[in-house]
Structures are given as C-alpha cells and as structure tokens.
A and B are shown apart, each in its own frame.
Chain A
C-alpha cells in the first residue's frame, strides 16, 4: 500500500472519529470532518513538499 493511501486512510479515520465525537447533527459533523481531513491531507502534502529538497540520508538502524 502506498504512503499516500495510508496517510489518506489515517486522516479519514481520525477525522471521522472526531467529527462524531465533538459535533452533533449532520451538517456540523460534515463541516468538522472536512476541516480535519483536508487539514491533515494538505498539511501532510505541504510538509512533504517542504522536505523534498533535503536528502534522505542513510537508512535508520534496526533497534
């Protein structure tokens, strides 16, 4: 599974959870879900884009 797909699934589950937990009613829930989901997705992509110029470096040692 690709990194992007995993990030999307994670953002979906967390956004859905908090939308159901923190809001009542369909419209407020949908609004919060979209805010959280898009915030996480766009934030992740933006962070990845900012890190793009930096070299990956050696692989991390296995503990």
Chain B
C-alpha cells in the first residue's frame, strides 16, 4: 500500500485537459465506462476498464440479476438504484429501451445482482479517478 501515489493538486490542470472541460469529461466518463480515461489519453486502460465493466454487467444480465429501481418504503433500494445508475447509458438503455428487470426466481438472481451492482460501483470509481486526474490530484 506504500506505493500509492501521493495526491498533489496542480491548479493549472483544473481548468481543462486539452481543451475539454472537466465537467464534460466526467459526464462522458459516467455515460460510457472507460470514456473518461480514453479522453485523457489512457486508451489501453480505458479499453481494459470497458471490458471489465461490460463483462461484469454481461454476467449480471446472463444470470438474470436485478437492475434496481426505487421501491416506495424500501430506502435501501434508493442506494442500490444509485449504484446501478452509476453504469450511465447502459442503465437507461436496459431499463427504458429494453425494459430489463431481472428474474427474481432465477437460480443466479442474487449472484447476477451482485455483478450488476459491482459494475455500476466500478464505473462510479472510474468517474472519481477521472476527476482526480483532470484536477491534477493524480498523475
């Protein structure tokens, strides 16, 4: 753990990275997993992240995992929905265009849900990483 980079902000990096605003990079990073790193020139890493998240989401869908939506009087579904929405565009495509819900009686339902939630949370971490890079807190 000692190899972790020490965060040092560089104010010059805050305004933009190659003309792209931080907000647009973060927004694209949310919409498409790996897009933020791709725009920042880390293309190999971006493709690896896209593959990992796609694989996790794909396994979740294959196992009929739950794509959470908010259920009244069940506050934990709010957090789970936010985690799933971390997927960005794939969440909205699955929910509104494909009307995907998952199958609660499927044998792999619980495992699938874990894969879907993990994919969303991984993309949220990528967004934070993109933000750290654009603001100069991380190399």
Chain B, interface size category, equals 20 to 34
A-B interface contact total, Cβ < 8 Å: 40
- In the assembled complex, the Cα of A16 lies from the Cα of B49 at a distance in Å of 9
Among A10, A23, A62, which residue has its beta carbon within 8 angstroms of that of B115?
A10
- Does chain A have a CB within 8 A of B88? no
Q: Does B105 lie at the interface of the complex (its beta carbon under 8 Å from any beta carbon of A)? A: yes
Q: A9-B59, A10-B118 are in contact. Are A21 and B129 (CB under 8 A)?
A: yes
Chain A interface residues (CB < 8 Å from chain B): 1, 3, 6, 9-10, 13-14, 16-17, 20-24, 28, 62-63
27 A-B contacts, Cβ less than 8 Å apart?
A: A1-B63, A1-B108, A3-B111, A6-B59, A6-B108, A10-B114, A10-B115, A10-B118, A13-B52, A13-B118, A14-B118, A14-B122, A16-B52, A17-B49, A17-B52, A17-B53, A17-B122, A20-B45, A20-B48, A20-B52, A21-B129, A23-B3, A24-B5, A24-B139, A62-B104, A62-B105, A63-B104
